[in-house]
């Protein structure tokens, strides 16, 4: 048969190995569907509406805790990010900030090497030009697939659909975060 330990296999060792192979061959491996986490079916709502609701809920929670009305805006602190937005922010900082910058203004340290320059994702006008599905498609398939710069790589084989959705949630928050940061 062959050598596993540097010594020739005995006949009984070969038979034991063949028996083990035969036993494991009869076991069915778990199907891929069983290992994949299924997302619950939700009504199709724009991510922007979910973001607005989350920001309003965070402000209401602060008011209920006894914070003065408008204290978040007065102090100039950014709005409280929900779980999905925080996950999206972490992904953005890891995958996107190199070109788009940590604040999304298109001023990442690699942006100076690119022509055309990365989009300023804090610009509300740029945000209104594309739907949530369009943003997800650009993230998934890269800029070239949407008629944008081919310098933006496709992340569809790297990121899961949930991660892409969380990125869209965070990208939709960038104009509001930039506005709050300036105020």
Alpha-carbon dihedral sign for residues 31, 32, 33, 35: positive
DSSP line for 86-150: HHHHHHIIIIIHHHH-TTSSS--TTGGG-SSPPP-TT-HHHHHTS-HHHHHHHHHH-GGGGTS-T
pLDDT of 171 above 80: yes
Rounded Cα–Cα distance for residues 183 and 75 (Å): 9
Note the pTM of the prediction, 2 decimals. Answer: 0.57
3-class DSSP state for residue 3?
Answer: strand
Rounded Cα–Cα distance for residues 71 and 21 (Å): 67
Q: Which of 58 and 73 is assigned the larger pLDDT?
A: 58
pLDDT of 66 above 60: no
Task: Dig out the tokens for 40 from the structure.
Answer: 């619950």
CA atoms within 13 A on the CB side of 158: 11
Confidence of residue 174 (pLDDT cuts 50, 70, 90): very high
Token pair 């063949």 is found at 18
Token pair 């999304």 is found at 104
Percent share of the chain, pLDDT over 70: 61
pLDDT confidence of residue 166: 95
Whole-number Cα distances in Å, 178 to 58, 67, 171, 173: 18, 23, 11, 9
What is the DSSP code (8-state) at residue 152?
Answer: S
Instruction: Cite the beta strand spans of 18-98 per DSSP E.
Output: none
pLDDT of 157 above 60: yes
Average pLDDT over all residues of the chain:
76
Confidence of residue 82 (pLDDT cuts 50, 70, 90): confident
Instruction: Sketch the domain layout of the chain as residue ranges.
Output: 50-182
The domain 50-182 having CATH identifier 1.10.3720.10: the answer here is: no
């Amino acid at each position: 048969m062959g050598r596993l330990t540097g010594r020739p296999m005995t006949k009984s060792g070969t038979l034991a190995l063949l028996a083990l192979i035969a036993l494991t061959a009869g076991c069915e491996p778990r199907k891929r569907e069983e290992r994949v986490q299924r997302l619950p079916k939700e009504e199709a709502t724009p991510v922007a509406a979910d973001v607005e609701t989350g920001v309003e809920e965070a402000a209401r929670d602060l008011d209920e805790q006894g914070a003065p009305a408008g204290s978040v805006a007065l102090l100039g602190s950014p709005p409280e990010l929900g779980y999905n937005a925080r996950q999206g922010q972490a992904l953005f900082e890891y995958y996107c900030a190199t070109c788009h910058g940590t604040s999304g203004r298109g001023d990442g340290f690699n942006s100076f090497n690119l022509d055309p320059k990365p989009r300023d994702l804090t610009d509300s006008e740029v945000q209104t030009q594309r739907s949530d599905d369009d943003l997800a498609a650009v993230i998934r398939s890269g800029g070239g697939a949407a008629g944008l710069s081919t310098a933006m790589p496709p992340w569809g084989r790297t990121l899961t659909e949930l991660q892409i959705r969380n990125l869209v949630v965070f990208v939709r928050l960038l104009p509001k975060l930039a506005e709050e940061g300036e105020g």
